[in-house]
Amino acid sequence: MAASSKLPAPPTAAPTAQLPAQLPAQVSPPEFALSPALPHQIGGAEVWALPVVPADAEGDGPSLGPGAEEAGDLLGLDLLGLLEAQRATGRTGEVISVPVVHDDVQLILLVGVGDQSVTDFRRAGATVARATKDRASVVTSITSIAPDGGLGAFVVGAMLGSFGFHWRSSGPKERPVARIVLAGTTDEDADDELARALAAGGAGWRSRMLACVPSNLKTPAWLAEQAEEFAAAAGLRVEVWDEVRLAAEGFGGVLAVGSASVSPPRMIRLDYTPHGATKKTPTVVLVGKGITFDTGGLDIKPPEGMLSMKRDMSGGAAVLATMAALGDVGCPVRVIGLVPAAENAIGGAAMRPGDVIRHYGGRTSEVNNTDAEGRLVLADAMAYAVAELDPAVLVDIATLTGAMKVALGQGTGGYFANDETLAGLLAKASASSGELLWRMPLVADYEERVSSRVADGDNAAGGAGAITAALFLQHFAGDVPWGHIDFASIAEAPAERYEWTQGPTGFGPRLLLDWLGSADPLEGIA
Ligand code: BES
Ligand code: MN
Ligand code: ZN
């Protein structure tokens, strides 16, 4: 009897609503090589790029750098005359393209290097990258006149200026130049400088790539898989908390933010240990906001505010990319990277305005705005770091507040620090990496805004939004020297400019690697 009246078994899992997302192969950054020879002595390049130096105080016109005279002779071209005819100034970013018909070369680029600062060379690198898209190779003598650090900066600029991301059925629209030869390189330290630049530029590239990936693919679990791949390649220890373990260990902030999503939250931990580390080797903890999509939650964002929110994991991407490159820059301290990853979605299980949540370790927050979700996940990770990891320094990095964009515009990030030495180290790394940061104050007087009537803290204090967000987080740093980087301002470039391509900037890893790859990253602290 029973057999005929049996109902079909209910599906064990909800049917997939969308086709599985498959990211096509992406373009790669150019390869770099060093050569002591000058462009005309190196065969088989499609493009030669030569530096143009602006007129000095007495000079009556810009001049050309090494290899230009020989190139002009070989091609029968008056390159200086050409500069004059084109009214070239040699300012940074200026490029004059001279197509030629010759067996050795097809295009000459005359590239301005302005004041010849490290920044000028970074920008010249990006200029060359843009002018050589889809070419097989370029040989350039530009870096042969660079100051200390200029060669590396040129490489970083050329890599990041080449960046592209696509999801077209027909393949990428354009490709980076395949090979860049830095001609006229005689400096013994150039190999090392190139290796460090490749690490920094590669980390910026990787961070940009992660930020570009749409959220129909980029779930917290996907981000964790990426971390596992990076860890395997870089020899890092990796650990991922799933939602069950997050609940068992009390990560209430991450769980609350991720509760409405069909893609459950994760917490990612990567550990870097330097060669020869002992028990005394201090630990730096980096925490990156890993919101894989931010709808705002029940306090839903308007369409224009939501459009770029697949990039709300940019801080997490900066941490993952930095961790993967620490070995390449010879970082001498232990570093642990934490990425609390969640999708701030909308649904029946979503956290509500007015909910009170309990963070790792017990501190409670009243959720007065579900769109202030970043600080809720960062708080858990910071509390975990302070309680379990004995950090000498704690730095978090996040696209945290729209208020930072209002305060600083889109050309610089903001940072806060409860320790003057750490503030100085971050400022120094910012200046030399070219990732600009401006220090913001932890105004103690605004503290009352962060207090709640019912809980230990209020997640939506308002007022000076970037500052009150920092004050909210400060409670989770305990007594640890702590830096907080809010780069919501500069996570996205509105247009192509210098080393920035339009879209995600991949901001963060360059400055973090500059700091952590220095001889003594904890100088004056530990
Ligand atoms: N992810 C946003 C911040 C953001 C804004 C990043 C614009 C990049 C560009 C964050 O989660 C957020 O929504 N913050 C709110 C906080 C407010 C509700 C207290 C904001 O800034 O409006
Ligand atoms: Mn938000
Ligand atoms: Zn957010």
Indicate which CATH number applies to the domain containing 229: 3.40.630.10
Q: Using CA atoms, how far apart are residues 324 and 196, in angstroms rounded to an integer?
A: 13
- Identity of the amino acid at 432: S
Q: Using CA atoms, how far apart are residues 498 and 502, in angstroms rounded to an integer?
A: 10
What's this model's pTM, rounded to 2 decimal places?
0.96
Burial (0-12, 13-18, 19+ Cβ within 10 Å), 194:
buried
The predicted pLDDT at position 113 comes to: 98
Q: In this structure, are 345 and 433 located in the same domain?
A: yes
Q: In this structure, are 419 and 305 located in the same domain?
A: yes
Please identify, by atom number, the ligand 1 atom nearest to the C-alpha of residue 461.
Answer: 19
**How does DSSP assign 308-321, residue by residue?**
TGGGTTHHHHHHHH
DSSP three-state, residue 8: coil
Distance 296 CA to ligand 3 centre (A): 7
Binding site as annotated, residues for Mn(2+): 289, 294, 312, 371, 373
Domain count, the chain: 2
The predicted pLDDT at position 2 comes to: 46
Q: Looking at the domain assignment, is residue 398 inside a domain?
A: yes
Distance 481 CA to ligand 1 centre (A): 25
- Residue ranges of the chain with per-residue pLDDT less than 70: 1-6, 8-16
Ligand 1 pocket list (CB less than 6 A): 294, 312, 369, 371-374, 399-403, 405, 460, 465, 488, 491
Q: In this structure, are 258 and 114 located in the same domain?
A: no
Which residues span the domain enclosing 31? 2-187
Query: Using one digit for the tens of pLDDT, what is the confidence trace for 116-140?
Result: 999 999 999 999 999 999 999 999 9
Q: In this structure, are 172 and 240 located in the same domain?
A: no
Q: Which of 304, 400, 507, when mutated, tests ligand 1's pocket best, judged by the most ligand atoms within 8 Å of its CB?
A: 400
Q: Using CA atoms, how far apart are residues 458 and 388, in angstroms rounded to an integer?
A: 25
Q: Which of 294, 300, 301, 371, when mutated, tests ligand 1's pocket best, judged by the most ligand atoms within 8 Å of its CB?
A: 371
The predicted pLDDT at position 65 comes to: 95
The predicted pLDDT at position 43 comes to: 84
User: Which of 179, 18, 39 minimizes the C-alpha distance to 104?
Assistant: 39
Q: In this structure, are 14 and 78 located in the same domain?
A: yes
Q: In this structure, are 289 and 164 located in the same domain?
A: no
Distance 441 CA to ligand 1 centre (A): 19
Q: In this structure, are 74 and 118 located in the same domain?
A: yes
Q: In this structure, are 170 and 296 located in the same domain?
A: no
The predicted pLDDT at position 72 comes to: 97
Q: In this structure, are 171 and 246 located in the same domain?
A: no
Q: In this structure, are 272 and 218 located in the same domain?
A: yes
Query: Using one digit for the tens of pLDDT, what is the confidence trace for 40-75?
Result: 999 889 999 999 999 988 877 899 999 999 999 999
The predicted pLDDT at position 56 comes to: 86
Q: Using CA atoms, how far apart are residues 162 and 181, in angstroms rounded to an integer?
A: 15
